Amino acid sequence: MKNFVIHFPHRKDREELFLKEAEEQGFQFEFVTPVYHVHAGTSLLKTYQKIIFDNYCQDEICLMEDDIHFCDKGAFDYFVASKPESFDVYLGGFYDGRLNEETKKIIRSWSGTHLWIISKKFYDTVLAFNEQGHIDRLMFAAKADVHCCYPFAAIQHIGYSDVQKRIADHSWYINHKKLFIASEAVQHTL
């Protein structure tokens, strides 16, 4: 599986943060410069569509945004190892949605594409999105089979959002959510 990271080259602050995250987690990746569109959400959608189109032969693609923060060392491996057998979209965490903690399925509209894997069976659906909007909301409206790694493997760093055009702090969304902590994961497997 290939790992792609959406990244504006001029955002050296984000590049530095992401390189530290990737080094600690120990995975390979490729930076992808966003496709320009006046609407930032559509820019993100078009960028994800380009990655999917260019990698259509892959069974799955892992996609990230450069403001990702993995919850602890080993979180990326935990995310991949916890992937369900069948899904359209598999998230590393989310905001503004509801999760059935037993099935780990999203049961209400959600936001957050800071870490996700898309299955080939859902590529054509995403490639067909032609309206402006946020990809997460469009996938939910398309009735995607969305699962989430729980406890969350990743959240987003607090900082300036190129999509929201302001400082974004999503920490209040994750109140009462479980985050991956390596020492606790080890205890659960004993």
CATH code of the domain in which 89 resides? 3.90.550.10
Enter the tokens of residue 54: 């260019």
Looking at residue 53, what is its pLDDT? Answer: 98
Q: What are phi and psi of 48, to 5 degrees?
A: -60, -40
Residue 188 has pLDDT above 60, yes or no: no
Q: DSSP letters of 65-103?
A: ETTEEESSTTHHHHHHHT--SS-SEEES--BSSEEETTT
Q: Does residue 165 surpass a pLDDT of 80? A: no
115-137 confidence digits (pLDDT tens): 999 999 999 999 999 877 789 88
Tally the domains of the chain: 1
More confident of the two residues 18 and 131? 18
Closest by CA to 57, choosing from 1, 114, 8, is: 1
Least confident of 4-18, 47-61, 174-188: 174-188
Tell me the residue range of the domain where 159 lies.
2-189
Please check the confidence at residue 112 and state whether its pLDDT lies above 70.
Answer: yes
Tens of pLDDT, residue by residue over 95-106, are: 888 899 899 999
* Burial class, 55, CB count within 10 angstroms (exposed 0-12 / middle 13-18 / buried 19+): middle
Residue 187: CB atoms within 10 A of its CB come to 9
**What proportion of the chain, given as a percentage, has pLDDT over 90?**
64
